[in-house]
Structure 1
Amino acid sequence: MTTITADAFTTSADGTRIAYDLTGPTPGLAPAIVVVDGVLAHRLPVTLAVATALGDRATTLRYDRRGRGGSGDTPPYSVDREIDDIAALLEITGPAALLGISSGAFLALRAAADLGADVTGVLCFEPTYDVASGEPPTDPRMIAGVETCIEMGDPGSAVELFLDVVGMPCRLLPRMRESPSWAGLEAIAPTIAYDGRILAGVALGHRALMGRWHQITQPVLVADGAASAVPLTDAAESLAAVLPMARRVTLPGQGTDVPPEAMAEAVASLLRTAGAP
């Protein structure tokens, strides 16, 4: 098998260009996994490390969700268009499992419900919402507040608002603004509201995921880290409890501190469960 790392583009159904890379065997020669990033993330170094650790066991496709990195964006936003993006990527890999990280876990689950057999399994890592909590799935500031900041031409305030939503202490904001990564966060600030809408769609609307758990019949692995915060562990437990084909696993570390080898083993386990050789 040939190991490849290539930057390329595909086109989604609405004409939006989606950037991606491939690591591992040429598509079709091994089972495939598509990485679905969470809020304010795209093609993180840790997911490349996971792809490298998987080696020839899987073809790993990482992509920039619309509005991020090398991908384009076509208004108006809808979750359906992000599902179309994943469908376009699956035309490259063939049927594949999805690794959904943070809020990306719920986008991956929505894709599993919508795309059926084209999605062979889902690994949900540190899903952000406790589906048993009875609380609203997303803080309204993550949608309306962020969109207002963007309309006013103030992406920095949109990022600050999101950081407040997730509980980052105000005293850390000046340091964040001075960091080299701040400009990159501002560049993709409009997509914070996209993840807000994905989370809202878990419980709200006529196609809410809470009414469609039974349609997700693919194997699902719900993972957190041994050092994950209690709310993330509770969210993982609640999600695993409602999905018909879910298993729970706890990996060493937390978030980006989880060793790539451990995440790669979890992916390999999912692929085996999904019927990959």
Structure 2
Amino acid sequence: MSITTVDAFTTSADGTRIAYDLTGPGRGLAPAIVVVDGVLAHRLPITLAVASKLGDRATTLRYDRRGRGGSGDTPPYSVDREVDDIAALLEVTGPAALLGISSGAFLALRAAADLGACVTGVLCYEPTYDVASGEPPTDPRMIAGVEACVEAGDPGSAVELFLDAVGMPCRLVPLMRASPSWANLEAIAPTIAYDGRILANVALGHRALMGRWDLITQPVLVVDGSASAATVAAAAESLAAVLPAARRITLPGHGTDVPPEAMAEAVAGFLRTAGAP
């Protein structure tokens, strides 16, 4: 079967245009999976490679989260609006699994809780927050500090603030600033605070995800790599422990930079266990 990638747009409930691409056989011809990127990422080359490796085993939809790439944005921001974006994408694919990467794992889980049977399962790759730690779910700088920099017209400082908050050694920041990708990071700097709010809403607010774990009855696979930091393994372990239908695997020898082949096999295996709609 010939595998092609098609670029298109859909419209979210608030009128925001969401850009996406679709790779694979198409709706109804294979299980579908929607890639939910983490902070400062949108339609990375690695996820396109994963889609290619999946081939005709899955229809893979990758999209630009609002405020990134080809997607629009409509203020004010709310996590509910990002869930609406996923709901609009599921109108394209039909019921589908979600692949949530890093902080995107918690947006994917929120969508699973809110959208029910439209989400057939969630694969969480290296979620960023240890839900059993008792620590605040996000550094305050990731929201208030970033928003202050953006409002001051200084997206570069917003990116630097985020990198410091996640522990990036300061000596590496000038190298990142000199890289061709820095302009892209500045362009989507306002969305750093969006991920901050997603993480904050895991534990805070009247609809905190921690109080709604029991609503996520779909199959969940929590994946980490053996080459990743111990904190990543702790976060994966804690998340798998609280979800009703979760299991956990570790990819030997891999970490954040998992090869597309290994990720594709993990996704294909998960889709088989989650079942096609």
TM-score for the superposition, normalised by structure 1: 0.98
SS of 2:19's partner is strand
- Following the alignment from structure 1 to structure 2, what is the Cα–Cα distance between the partners of residues 232 and 48? 24
Q: Within 5 Å, which residues of 2 pair with 1:1-277? A: 1-252=1-252, 253-255=254-256, 257-276=257-276
Deviation at 1:4, TM superposition (A): 2.2
Letter in 1 for 2:101: I
SS at match of 1:133: coil
Q: For the Cα contact (< 8 Å) 1:4–1:26, is it kept in 2? A: no
Instruction: Flag structure 2 segments of 5+ consecutive residues without an equivalent.
Output: none
Tell me, what secondary structure is at the counterpart of 1:100?
A: strand
**Offset from partner CA, 1:236-259 (integer Å, 9 cap, x none):** 00000000100101114111x212
Amino acid at match of 2:232: L
Alpha-carbon separation, structure 2, partners of 1:175 and 1:3: 37
Alpha-carbon separation, structure 2, partners of 1:94 and 1:232:
32
Residue 28 (structure 1) shift: 1.6
Q: Does the aligned pair in 2 maintain the 1:6–1:23 contact within 8 Å?
A: yes
Please give the alpha-carbon distance, in whole angstroms, between the structure 1 residues aligned to 2:269 and 2:239: 19
Partner amino acid for 1:11? T
Number of aligned residue pairs: 276
What code does the residue aligned with 1:78 have? S
SS where residue 190 of structure 1 aligns? helix
- Contact (CA 8 Å) 1:4, 1:24: kept in 2 or not? yes
Matched-pair identity in %: 86
C-alpha separation in 2, matches of 1:204 and 1:2: 46
Deviation of 1:275 (Å): 1.6
Deviations 1:69-123 (A, max 9, x none): 0000000000000000000000000000000000000000000000000000000
Alpha-carbon deviation of 1:174? 1.1
Does structure 2 retain, via aligned residues, the 8 Å contact 1:3–1:26?
A: no
Q: What amino acid sits opposite 1:96 in the alignment?
A: A
Partners of 1:37 and 1:173 in 2: CA distance: 22
1:26-54 Cα shifts (integer Å, max 9, x gaps): 11211100000000000001101111111
Q: CA RMSD in A?
A: 0.9
Post-superposition offset of 1:2: 4.6
Structure 1 unaligned regions, length at least 5: none
User: What amino acid maps onto 1:49 in structure 2?
Assistant: A
- Cα distance in 1, alignment partners of residues 180 and 64 from structure 2: 20
Q: 3-state DSSP class of the match of 2:189?
A: coil
